[in-house]
C-alpha cells in the first residue's frame, strides 16, 4: 500500500476531551444572519442523506456523500450486512456476532449494531479491507481498552461511533491476516493503508494521541517520522471537525505529506492548532479559529524546525480569526488540493463553520425519521 501515489482520507470528528456532543434542535441560531431559523444548516456530506426519513433502509447511500481525498473509500457499497449483537471480544477465536469477528472477514461487509453497546477490547481491533462500521441509529462505544488499527488495508469506513478512554494493549498474537504487536495508546492508528474515511466519530481521552496515521497511509499525527519518505504520498482532507478546548496540539500535525484542512471549528488550543515538520504542504481554508485567552499563544501554526521553513507552502484562505488568532503563512505558489471531479467541493467561509460543525460527533438519531 505504501507505494501508492495517492492516499486518501476524510474526517468528520468531534474531538472533545470532556463530554459527548448533544444534538441541536431544529431551532437553530445562524451566526451570519443573527436570527433563529427552523431550517437546520447541514454540511455538504450530511445534507445528502440526513434529510431522507428512510435512511435506515438505504444505509449504503452514505458512500455517495464523501468529499475530498476520502471520496473513493466506497468499495463496500454492495457488501453484505453483518449485525453486531455480542459485546465480547476474543482476539484469537472471536465469536460470531462480535465486532471483531466481522472486521476480520475477508469478504466485504457493512457492519451495523443491533442495539446500544459498549465494547471493551482485550487487544487492538485489526481491520480487514472493504469494511464499513456504521453506528448510526444506536450508541456504540469502544472504550476502556485498546484501539482500532487499520493496517495494510484499503476501503475502510468508520462512521458514528465513540472511541474514548483508550489504554495500551498487550503485545500478544491475535487473529488477522498476519500477526501484529501493539504498543501504542491511540484511539485509531492507520498504518500503510489507503482509501480511509472516518466520519461523525467522538474521540477522546486516549493514552497517547487521538489518531495517528503513519507509513504512507491515507489519513492526529500524519507521518511516521521526518525521514519516512513514503509519507510524501499522503493526501489528507480534514473537514467539518469540532476540536474542543481541552485539546493541546496536533489538529493536525503533518510530516512530509499534504493536508487540506477545511471548515473545522477550533475552540482554543493549549500549544498550537496546526503544526508540521519535514516540509509538509498545508492549506487551511474556511476554518473558524478561536484563540485562547493566553496573550502568548495566539498563533495557530507551529513548525517543528529551527530554520529553513520559509519556503514551506502553508496557506490560509477564507479562515475566520477570533480573539486574536492568526495564521503564519509561508512559501510561494499554489497549494490547492487539486481534487479530481468526484472529490472536489466548495469550501464555505469560516464564519459559517459553527453551523456546519454543530452536529459533529455521533448523531443520536431515530431510525425512522430524517434528522
* 329, three cell numbers: 503563512
Peptide bond preceding 49: is omega within 30 degrees of 0, i.e. cis? no
Give me the catalytic one of 50, 147, 250, 255.
250
Residue 105 CA to residue 210 CA, distance in Å, equals 26
258: β partners:
235, 281
Residue 6 CA to residue 24 CA, distance in Å, equals 37
Q: How many CB atoms lie within 10 A of CB 31?
A: 14
* 37, three cell numbers: 431559523
Asked if 55 and 110 touch (Cβ cutoff 8 Å), the reply is no
Nearest alpha-carbon partner for 244 in 316, 302, 298, 292: 292
Decide if 250 is catalytic: yes
Instruction: Decide: helix, strand or coil at residue 290.
Output: strand
Nearest alpha-carbon partner for 161 in 112, 127, 194, 208: 112
CA distances from 69 to 21, 258, 263, 274, 277 (A): 26, 11, 15, 19, 21
Q: Give the residue numbers marked as catalytic.
A: 250
Amino acid at each position: 500500500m505504501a507505494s501508492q501515489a495517492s492516499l486518501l482520507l476524510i474526517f468528520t470528528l468531534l474531538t472533545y476531551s470532556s463530554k459527548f456532543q448533544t444534538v441541536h434542535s431544529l431551532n437553530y441560531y445562524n451566526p451570519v444572519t443573527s436570527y433563529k431559523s427552523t431550517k437546520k444548516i447541514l454540511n455538504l456530506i450530511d445534507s445528502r442523506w440526513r434529510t431522507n426519513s428512510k435512511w435506515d433502509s438505504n444505509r449504503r447511500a452514505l458512500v455517495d456523500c464523501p468529499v475530498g481525498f476520502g471520496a473513493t473509500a466506497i468499495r463496500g457499497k454492495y457488501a453484505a450486512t453483518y449485525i453486531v449483537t455480542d459485546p465480547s471480544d476474543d482476539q484469537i477465536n472471536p465469536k460470531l456476532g462480535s465486532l471483531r469477528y466481522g472486521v476480520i472477514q475477508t469478504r466485504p461487509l457493512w457492519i451495523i449494531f443491533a442495539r446500544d453497546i459498549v465494547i471493551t477490547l482485550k487487544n487492538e481491533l485489526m481491520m480487514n479491507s472493504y469494511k464499513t462500521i456504521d453506528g448510526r441509529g444506536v450508541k456504540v462505544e469502544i472504550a476502556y481498552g485498546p484501539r482500532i488499527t487499520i493496517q495494510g488495508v484499503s476501503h475502510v469506513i468508520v462512521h458514528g461511533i465513540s472511541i474514548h478512554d483508550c489504554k495500551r494493549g498487550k503485545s500478544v498474537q491475535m487473529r488477522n491476516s498476519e500477526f501484529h504487536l501493539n504498543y501504542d495508546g491511540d484511539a485509531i492508528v492507520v498504518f500503510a493503508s489507503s482509501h480511509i474515511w472516518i466520519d461523525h466519530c467522538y474521540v477522546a481521552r486516549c493514552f497517547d494521541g487521538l489518531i495517528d496515521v503513519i507509513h504512507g497511509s491515507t489519513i492526529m499525527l500524519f507521518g511516521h517520522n521526518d525521514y519516512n519518505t513514503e509519507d510524501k504520498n499522503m493526501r489528507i482532507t480534514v473537514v467539518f471537525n469540532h476540536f474542543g478546548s481541552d485539546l493541546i496540539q496536533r489538529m493536525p500535525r503533518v510530516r512530509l505529506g499534504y493536508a487540506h484542512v477545511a471548515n473545522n471549528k477550533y475552540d482554543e488550543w493549549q500549544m498550537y492548532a496546526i503544526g508540521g515538520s519535514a516540509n509538509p504542504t498545508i492549506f487551511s481554508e474556511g476554518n473558524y479559529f478561536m484563540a485562547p485567552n493566553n496573550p502568548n499563544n495566539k498563533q495557530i501554526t507551529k513548525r517543528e524546525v529551527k530554520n529553513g521553513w520559509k519556503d514551506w507552502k502553508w496557506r490560509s484562505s477564507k479562515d475566520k480569526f477570533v480573539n486574536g488568532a492568526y495564521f503564519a503563512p509561508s512559501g510561494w505558489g499554489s497549494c490547492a488540493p487539486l481534487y479530481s471531479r468526484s472529490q472536489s467541493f466548495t469550501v464555505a467561509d469560516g464564519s459559517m463553520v459553527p453551523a456546519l460543525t454543530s452536529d459533529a460527533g455521533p448523531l443520536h438519531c431515530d431510525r425512522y425519521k430524517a434528522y
